[in-house]
Structure 1
């Protein structure tokens, strides 16, 4: 089958390489070269680099102009595949051909830019993969195929993303072979807008399950944080110690935000007397480190806010 491929980050580059092994990719569309790293070096997107390695014709753009839509139409491709392109596919392009989009939730749950992260923060609600046909609405198009997935509380968003990507590419390849009948989305919709640093602040009055889920969902970006002595304190990995009211069992007053050493673990008190084990942290002005190394350097209980 002759395809147009639109995507930008590494997960899309992985998909492009696998699709090229089975189908003809007539044209790749990706975002323009952008500054990367602390030195802000202008760098092609991972998809642009993969397309160059594969010898594929590529258009770099931050929006699909009428001229680019015309170039797409000239290819006479059968279908467009979109994976994290980072820009809207305009009505003119949607009218020219069908486009399938890979989305990391069970639509209509978590429509928007960060579906997998919202699934993780909500303890696996709506976790899965949807392949759907693009239309003008935000992630509202007919479903081509779906696959429910499990969230592992010990894995970060970055680690889940690799797994979801592999399964998603499998779903695309199976659907291209079988061309299943599309079906209307059913159920209650929820939204997953892009996450900012402000969204990443931890609410330590929440239960340990929710605090730990947020930590893991926001690694590697934008990274969960609280404050310690009016300085930002990042938490990169954490593990819930369950729904037990540990404060009641220990006979102490619960104090969300208190960090102490407990049975060889660095524990953070959360809402309802529940506790989280801190695993990897990054104090202000320092590199990330194990919570044990950080706490031994302090050698005293502290309060995160």
Structure 2
């Protein structure tokens, strides 16, 4: 099958590699988001998908919008049979959806219709779901509402961050996407409509303000929020008026209670109070400084009585 692959970030790489290495399919081009500035120097960087495609000699398309006439004309000229999509990051107009004969097939990292939207893995961790997975479905105009071809499931482990979970789903989802395209090409796989209403939930993108830790929340909520926001957008709190970025914390129900945000530091153990029991800090990153252990940070700031986070 002749393919044009659409994707942008790191989690799209395992599925793209699987299709590039497949003897049944030919990836003739990739579609990705335009190069973006990042880092302290605000240098322009290619997306991970663009880097992989260029290393394999594959044409890279970077439309500002997927409805741009120049992009649509090039897509028609490439004449793909299907366009597989993994975390592309932009809306696809009907004019683009109509070009490939088998349409656009998305690999989405949830068990649809649960967690439609931009941040399904983060919301699964944040809400304490025991199980999640990945699904392949036909893209339609409504957000993540198209008929489903297949699913794989994945247990959410107690200490999983969003990054941990997404890495596993990208690997298992790569096989699912390849198998889906095989079945579509053979005519042996039929998409099934999602339920009209039952089980539909939405996963809005989490931004920096969503990642601010509320120490007046229970320890379980604090733990889930920090893991859900790791690695991005990065959980944070404030200390002495400056931002302090937090790595995953560990609930410590056996420890004596502390007031919300109250800090207790003994040797290398740094505890912070919540509405229930304390949590133990692991890695932290003060504003403008490197990442360090919580013990290093506590010794460096010379905690004073009454110091709190938040």
Using structure 1 for the length normalisation, give the TM-score: 0.89
Aligned residues: 297
Corresponding position: 1:83 with 2:86: yes
The SS at the match of 1:154 is coil
Equivalences for 1:37-116 in 2 at 5 Å? 37-64=39-66, 65-97=68-100, 98-116=103-121
Name the Cα RMSD after superposition.
2.2
Structure 1 outlier segments of 4+, above 4 Å: none
The match for 1:185 among 172, 186, 194 is: 194
Match of 1:220 among 231, 234, 240: 231
Q: 1:77 to 1:285 in 2, by over 3 A?
A: closer
Aligned residue number for residue 173 of structure 2 = 168
Query: Partners in 2 of 1:275 and 1:258 — Cα distance?
Result: 9
Deviation of 1:159 (Å)? 2.5
Structure 1 residue 138: Cα displacement: 1.0
SS at match of 1:292: helix
1:299 positional shift: 5.2
- Tell me, yes or no, if structure 1 residue 13 matches structure 2 residue 41: no
Contact 2:32 2:47 in 1 (8 A): yes
Q: Check the 8 A contact 1:120/1:127 in 2, yes or no.
A: no
Question: How far 1:280 sits from its partner (Å)?
Answer: 0.9
Structure 1: runs of 5+ lacking an equivalent: none
Which moved further from structure 2: 161-170 or 39-48? 39-48
Alignment of structure 1 residues 136-147 onto 2, 5 Å = 136-147=141-152
Tell me, yes or no, if the aligned pair for 2:136 and 2:150 is still in contact at 8 Å: yes
Q: CA deviation at 1:82?
A: 0.7
Distance in 2 of aligned mates of 1:141 and 1:46 = 27
Task: State the alpha-carbon separation in 1 of the partners of residues 288 and 279 from structure 2.
Answer: 24
Residue 44 of structure 1, CA deviation: 2.2
* Distance in 1 of aligned mates of 2:39 and 2:299: 32
What residue is the counterpart of 2:290 in the other structure? 287
Residues 9-44 of structure 1: CA distance to partner in whole angstroms, max 9, x if unpaired?
A: 222233222211112012211222222322222222
